[in-house]
Amino acid sequence: METRARTLVKALVWNVIGLITMSLVGLILTGSVVVGGALAAVNTAVGLAMYLIYERVWTRIHWGRHHA
């Protein structure tokens, strides 16, 4: 079983990767650091919230788990 702390750290690391990636994509597509950064920040905030919810829901689903 995953702890909440582990889920949070995984989500934060994943979202830092996503923030960097989306910032670059936003910059390339818009040519603006401010607009690209804003798009990346909103995407990261929404993505983090959804990832945390998603992970916590899956911790409650027992399908496919093997108990040692």
Structure confidence by residue, pLDDT tens digits, 6-61:
888 988 898 899 889 999 999 999 999 999 889 889 988 998 899 889 988 988 88
* Ranges of each domain in the chain: 4-59
The tokens of 44 are what? 């990261």
Give the separation between CA 26 and CA 19, rounded to whole angstroms.
10
- What is the value of pTM for the model shown? 0.66
Give the separation between CA 59 and CA 52, rounded to whole angstroms.
11
